[in-house]
Amino acid sequence: MRIDFPIDAGDAGRSAAWLLRERHGVSASFVKTVRIHGRLLWNGQPVRMKEAIPGPGLLQAWVPDGRELPEDPGAGDEGSGPPRFLAGQELPGGIDCRYADAWLYVVEKPAGLVVHPTTGHGASTLTERLRAAFGEGRLHPVNRLDRETSGLMILARNALAHDRLARQHGSGTMRKVYLAAVHGCPDPPDGRMEDGIERCPGSIMLRRTSPSASPARSRYHTLETSRDGTVSVAAFVLESGRTHQIRVHCLLHGVPILGDSLYGIRSRDHGDRLVDGGWADPTAVEQDGRFPRQALHAAGLAFLHPVTGEPMAYASPWPDDLRYPILEAGIAQEDAAAAAVRYCLESDSI
């Protein structure tokens, strides 16, 4: 894949590595990838990273993207062409591709699928299935979802796209919004949750709130509450990205997410705490049991394209396994995804 970096006259005498990092914002790992695995040209001529660039022109970085680099970098840029499938195509394993170009994919992850290979989860992961379907080399997830959380994800196709998207993710330029169905109604209906979150002692997976932990910040807006007040649907806009952030915050604030096996009313680890708080009502337990998993869905995603800077926004409605039990609870969430994206783009108003 060829990536072009224009160089201005005012930067004459700077090294190629400095220009890439300071003027174009690429990471040290991207510079290393080009130096070791790729090629670098200045105005069509090979140049080394440490060499000074004498004047204005064009730096061209050739980087591997899962295909072989062409023998002659000037012969074309096949690696930067569109992937061999159409956006909107449903892929094996229930994965929907919402957008695709030479830089990134936007996909909808189904529940029950781990994002990255781990011990016990090898080929049956999101990244491995996408690599097999697209004929890709390495893919770089920009945002991650728990195994039982469904919804929108971005995967970068190369180090430069990942670096620029990760910067948006870390700075808050990228907006992520989740839909959650919870017991009761958040009080107040709109607000912020900023409690610190840390790992529970002796557990790799479980998290808990702690005043000594770094704040985990979310804004939320209650979209609808059932007539009997037992179930609400809320949109959450994340300002930080702690593990299990929404799930832990909902537990702490007395509105546990329906169907959550770790932080819900049927949890072996937190169930006693919730029962003590009044969640032993048989109706609540029965209602919770209608959900096959935690009622949490990544419904909105807004970001800037890592190369063109074009604003991009996507919405994803409730999947069927959650929509039907939510309807049974007396909530009609036909426009929830659209509302979620609106709050994602205008989250300062939450």
Measured CA to CA, the distance from residue 139 to residue 133 in angstroms comes to 12
Strand pairing of 150-156 and 140-141? antiparallel
The one catalytic residue among 146, 163, 195, 288: 146
Q: Is 146 a catalytic residue?
A: yes
Name the residues annotated as catalytic.
146
